Structure 1
Amino acid sequence: MAFVIFLGAAVFEIIGCYLIWLAVRQGQLWMWVPALAALGFFGLLLALSGMDSAGRAFALYGGIYILASVLFMMGVEGIRPDRWDMIGAGLAIAGAAVIFLAPRGA
């Protein structure tokens, strides 16, 4: 379930940041309203992740965000990731998995 929450957070953060990117580049100030709403949902989802530490939630989320960003680059921007993009995303996911799956005392 945590992965679904983090994936949803990534979607909302990417949408929010992309709308700000477009608003600045295209001078369409109205895009700030849905952008800030999306970023608010992003923060809410991270808070609902169930992690015992905000820092761990952010670190785990970071790996998922990197993977989602590469998928966004492919799907929305039509840019094919190169091997360095894929290696970096793989390393980020591996790091996030270590944080998530690490055995911790009760």
Structure 2
Amino acid sequence: MPSLLAFAAAAVLEIGGCFAFWAWLRLGQSPLWLLPGMAALAGFATLLTMADSPLAGRAYAAYGGIYITAALLWGWLIEGHRPDLWDVAGALICLAGMAVILFAPRAMPA
């Protein structure tokens, strides 16, 4: 699975899983929200292992740019809070960093 696809799917699962906890603790929803939330978080962790990186830390660092962008989109599409200019600028900076981390040419380890 290509890294960007894995990261995008992981972001949806991570944000959805965390939102389930938010809904329970902050919005007064039923504790039953935790069941799909925990399943989503397990799926998120599994998807991160599918990134095309030999190093977990590098994959997690690159994922950060996708996560930040997805979190802003979640806020807009699910919570109705449209990102402002600074949100968009920050997300673009993070995506640039993700691209450098993930796609930079590197020598193969010996």
Give the TM-score normalised by structure 2.
0.92
RMSD over aligned CA atoms reads 0.9
Query: Which residue pairs with 1:49 in the alignment?
Result: 51
1:1-106 equivalences in 2 (<5 Å): 1-25=2-26, 26-106=28-108
* Misfit runs of 4+, over 4 Å: none
Corresponding pairs, count = 106
* Counterpart Cα distance in 2 of 1:92 and 1:13: 18
Q: Structure 1 stretches of 5 or more lacking a match? A: none
More helix by share: 1
* Counterpart Cα distance in 1 of 2:83 and 2:61: 23
Residue deviations 1:82-105 (CA, integer Å, cap 9, x gap): 111011101100100010111100
Aligned letter for 1:31? W
Q: Percent identity among equivalent residues?
A: 44
Shift of 1:27: 4.4
Shift of 1:16: 0.1
Q: Structure 2 stretches of 5 or more lacking a match? A: none
Q: Return 52-61 or 26-35, whichever deviates more.
A: 26-35
Aligned letter for 2:95? I
Q: Return 93-102 or 21-30, whichever deviates more.
A: 21-30
Shift of 1:80: 1.0
Residue deviations 1:33-81 (CA, integer Å, cap 9, x gap): 1111100000000012231100011011000000101111111111111
* Counterpart Cα distance in 2 of 1:38 and 1:84: 29
